[in-house]
Amino acid sequence: MTERHMEPPPWREVFQGERGRLVIGLLILETLVAVYALVITAIMPAVRNDLGGTALYGFAFAAWGIATMVTIPIAGHGVDRYGPRLPLLIVLGVQILGFAVSGLAPTMLVYVVGMFLLGCAGGATYAISMGTVAKTFPERIRARVMALLATMWILPGLVGPPLGAFIASTIGWRWAFVVPIPMLVLAASLVLPALGEVVRAEEADRLPIRWSVQLAIGLAALLGGLTLTDLWSVPLAVVGLATGLPALLHIVPEGTLRARPGLPGAAVAMFLLSGAFFTVDSFIPLMLTELHGFTLMEAAILITVATVTWSVGSWWQSRNAGNIDPGVLVTIGTALVLAGILGVATGLVAGAPVLLVYIGWTVAGGGMGIAFPTIPLSVMSAAEEGKEAGQLSSTLLMDTLGATIGSGLGGASIAFATAARGNAGLRTGIAGAYALGLAGIVLLLFIARRLPRGTGQPVD
């Protein structure tokens, strides 16, 4: 452990002057992304009842996730090349267009197009926000800002789904795409004026448009192959992997596949952390409702509690990030997530108390709050001057990629198990998903100390 004895900055310092207005605007943007992501999930049954197109139901969610893969690296490098103001203006336009297309959609196919546009905006907003934090805030304040951003998911987690259900059952689901627009305008009025002083890079990297699109196409094919259970599943997955992997290697730092110490190690750590957590998180409600007879609301409470403890862990991390080595912080958080996955896995054992599941995922949420912000913070402190957003975008991409592939592999485990044994195979399929998450988090323990340490040089 590195003892630097750095006192965390007071919160008032985070909100002072022009910087404070920027922080508030970023927090509103983060809240918007969280709210409409959760609201959209809640209104989807109403959308299907109105538009039909049940066969495209899953594509609405897949379109969102795949779209983020396109825009995260493009937006990150765009911030380096043009500054954050122009990319954010474009993203705000795409976001409003996505709201309009989705809210006015006459068919489910058009609605899916709207979801793709909103996914593009969401991924780009993620990269722009983090890139702005890296370029604008001094290192001693960044952890505080990251803790605040994590906190913005608590209230949406509590009110998002009920709000979506209320809107859909009263004034209609289409209004769910109108409600966020005033807040979007407010956030833009706060953020955009504060971005003018961010200096562009003199020699920024080119925008990886081709490779980002190719990665998204490959990922779509890979996920399609993983979720199908017919003759075409394996060839489709192979084609997806052969298409997406070369594109990914053009985007992420050299040495990522070997988890080389420094920025490559951070990218792999982010992939494993998000992949492990969300592979388990995605299927906890299914386990509790189908194997234990819980209601959907009772199962959803656990996901909300984990969101709260995630924020608590992030706040603790923000107080200690200046005094504890990043590798140590990630190791602590990873150990807590590991304990949480083991606790959740007891829910598959007949006779084991379900309370262990709730305790386990509560602990895992705290572990994510410690480990998750530490990884991008280590990248921010080690990135080349002027290229912070582009280099950080690789880590953010691996975060989203890990969560998407982890959930896809977990879904494949369940699909194949239930195809072979029907409902009797559900327990086996969920166990396979949890085993994947467990393998990823154990592997992370061995590479957690490979993060950069803020000197711009890899860890020995």
| 15, 122, 291, 297, 343 from 294: Cα distances, Å | 43, 32, 8, 8, 18
Regarding whether 276 and 188 lie in a shared domain, the answer is: no
Per the CB < 8 A criterion, the answer to whether 110 and 56 are in contact is no
**Burial (CB count <10 Å: 0-12, 13-18, 19+), residue 231:** exposed
Regarding whether 452 and 324 lie in a shared domain, the answer is: yes
Residue 459, domain extent: 255-460
pLDDT category of residue 447 using cuts at 50, 70 and 90:
very high
Domain boundary among 149, 184, 207: 207
Regarding whether 40 and 177 lie in a shared domain, the answer is: yes
Regarding whether 243 and 264 lie in a shared domain, the answer is: no
Regarding whether 330 and 197 lie in a shared domain, the answer is: no
**What is the arithmetic mean of pLDDT over 192-221?**
77
**Burial (CB count <10 Å: 0-12, 13-18, 19+), residue 240:** buried
In the DSSP assignment, the letter for residue 323 is T
Q: Per this entry, what is the length of the chain?
A: 460
What are the two backbone dihedrals, phi and then psi, of residue 8, each rounded to the nearest 5 degrees? -65, 145
Regarding whether 321 and 197 lie in a shared domain, the answer is: no
**Domain with 345 in it: what CATH number?**
1.20.1250.20
CA atoms within 13 A on the CB side of 87: 32
Regarding whether 340 and 222 lie in a shared domain, the answer is: no
Domain boundary among 207, 239, 270: 207
Flag the least confident range among 71-75, 279-283, 390-394, 452-456: 452-456
In tens, the pLDDT along 11-64 reads: 677 777 777 778 888 888 877 777 777 677 667 778 877 887 666 666 676 778
In the DSSP assignment, the letter for residue 294 is -
In tens, the pLDDT along 323-343 reads: 889 999 999 999 999 999 999
Averaged pLDDT of the chain: 83
* In the block, residue with structure tokens 């990150």: 76
Per the CB < 8 A criterion, the answer to whether 202 and 91 are in contact is no
Per the CB < 8 A criterion, the answer to whether 221 and 178 are in contact is no
**What is the arithmetic mean of pLDDT over 402-415?**
83
In tens, the pLDDT along 198-207 reads: 656 556 667 7
Report whether pLDDT(460) > 50. Answer: no
Regarding whether 338 and 359 lie in a shared domain, the answer is: yes
Regarding whether 291 and 394 lie in a shared domain, the answer is: yes
Domains in the chain, number: 3
Regarding whether 135 and 38 lie in a shared domain, the answer is: yes
Whole-structure pTM over 0.75, yes or no? yes
Residue 389 is which amino acid? A
The pLDDT assigned to 1 comes to 41
Domain boundary among 207, 240, 265: 207
Regarding whether 218 and 194 lie in a shared domain, the answer is: no
The pLDDT assigned to 337 comes to 97
Regarding whether 101 and 192 lie in a shared domain, the answer is: yes
